[in-house]
Amino acid sequence: MADKVLHIVQQFERMGKKLVAGRAMEFKTAEEAIARAERDAARMAGVVALSQTIDLDTGEVVEEPVIHARHGELPKEFQPDD
C-alpha cells in the first residue's frame, strides 16, 4: 500500500448568494500551500490550505485532512470546531 500526502489549496467564490468551490491546486509542501492561500485571501471569497493522505492504489482517503490555513467565507466542513 503506497500512501501520498497531498497539499491542497481550495478556493471559494461567490455566485450570487451561493458560495461555490473554485479552483483546487496541489503543491509540493504544506508551506507552499499556506503561502498560496495567504496570497489568494485578498481576491477570493474564501480559501483553505490543507493536507490529506491518500492510498495511491485505491484512491481512498487514509487520514482526515489537516487544515493549515483558513481565510474568508468557507463552507461548514472547513469551519473550526469552536
In the predicted structure, residue 1 carries a pLDDT above the cut 70: no
pLDDT band at 82 (very low <50, low <70, confident <90, very high): low
pLDDT-based confidence at residue 74 (cuts at 50, 70, 90): very high
9-64 pLDDT, tens digit each: 999 999 999 999 999 999 999 999 999 999 999 999 999 999 999 998 888 988 88
Strand, coil or helix: 60 = coil
Instruction: Note the pLDDT of residue 5.
Output: 94
Domain boundaries, the chain: 3-78
Q: How far is Cα 14 from Cα 79, in angstroms, rounded to an integer? A: 17
